[in-house]
Amino acid sequence: MKILAMDSSGLVASVAFLEDEKIKGLVNINYQKTHSQTLLPMLDDLLKTLGEDPKDIDFLACANGPGSFTGLRIGVATVKGLGMGLCKKVIEVSTLEALSLNWPKAEGIVCPIMDARRSQVYAAAYTFGENDTKPVEVIEPVNCEIGELLERLETLGKKVYFTGDGVPVYKEFIESNLKVPFVFPIAANEYQNAANVAILGKIYANEGKAKDACDVTPVYLRKPQAEREREALLNA
């Protein structure tokens, strides 16, 4: 099975090519250019380097959120265009679940946190049991205050393995407030990585979860500001 995967939900643009058990190629760019300038050229380069024809892939996979609204849409719009042009199905993978593979088989709770600004995070938590083939969700993907997340992690009572671009932002806060043991990743392991998207994509493809390109949609976990303000006004 050949899967072409991408993640542009955060600072890093990442594309990966998986064939069966192997990640044949992975390109990450963490640079000032926008994802709209980098993502597709990276994908083109990767396929050319591997000598792969895009028509031969079986599935596309895309991290569909949460994350930067614009970044998510660049990735999702790209995968929707590819899916339509190549007539291939798409597997949506949660950005947070993909991040959790930065700590594969950690004995405790893996907690990806993404900076959502204004002391908020996008976060979830997962465990990996010995016989699990994929992460098991113990806190569903949420958009909440960092303090609220730490309280929920404490109730789980296990060591927490953090990852995600929220780590450098909330490191000090976590160190001062979290009452259960925790570990931070090495800096390079904080970021999104499309290889993780490809690995989970393969699992979900085997579970029959691939979708038509037209049905792929970003998961924002947060309503647009104008909509929130309007609702507040209507409820007042």
Partner 1 sequence: MEDVYILAVESSCDETAAAVVKNGREVLSNVIYSQIDLHTLYGGVVPEIASRKHIDKINQVVAKAIEDSKTELKDMSAIAVTYGPGLVGPLLVGVSFAKALSFASNLPIIGVHHIEGHICANYIADKELEPPFMCLVVSGGHTHLVKVADYGEYEILGRTEDDAAGEAFDKVARAIGLGYPGGPKIDKVSKTGNPEAIKFPRAKVGGSEYDFSFSGLKSAVLNYLNTASMNNEKIVTEDVAASFQQAVIDVLVGHSMEALDRYGFKKFAIAGGVASNSSLRAAFEKACEDKGVEFFLPPPILCTDNAAMIGSAAYFEYKRGIRHGLDLNAVPNLKLGER
Binding site for partner 1 (CB under 8 A): 34, 36-41, 43-44, 54, 69-70, 73-74, 76-86, 213-214, 217-218, 220, 224-227, 230
Q: Tokens representing 19?
A: 């064939």
Which is closer to partner 1, CB of 64 or CB of 100? Answer: 64
Which is closer to partner 1, CB of 71 or CB of 135? Answer: 71
**106: amino acid identity, one letter:** A
Count of alpha carbons within 13 angstroms of residue 48, beta-carbon side: 6
Nearest distance from residue 170's CB to partner 1, in Å? 25
Which is closer to partner 1, CB of 37 or CB of 127? Answer: 37
Which is closer to partner 1, CB of 43 or CB of 198? Answer: 43
Q: Answer for the pair 190, 163: CB distance below 8 angstroms, yes or no.
A: yes
Cβ within 8 Å of residue 147, ≥6 positions away: 119, 173, 177
Which is closer to partner 1, CB of 108 or CB of 218? Answer: 218
The whole-angstrom separation of Cα 68 and Cα 17 is 23
Q: Answer for the pair 149, 123: CB distance below 8 angstroms, yes or no.
A: yes
Nearest distance from residue 28's CB to partner 1, in Å? 17
The whole-angstrom separation of Cα 134 and Cα 131 is 9
Nearest distance from residue 80's CB to partner 1, in Å? 5
Nearest distance from residue 193's CB to partner 1, in Å? 21
Give DSSP secondary structure letters for 130-168: TT-SS-EEEEEEEEEEHHHHHHHHHHHTS-EEEESTHHH
Nearest distance from residue 114's CB to partner 1, in Å? 18
Which is closer to partner 1, CB of 36 or CB of 143? Answer: 36
SS3 state of residue 53: coil
Nearest distance from residue 228's CB to partner 1, in Å? 11
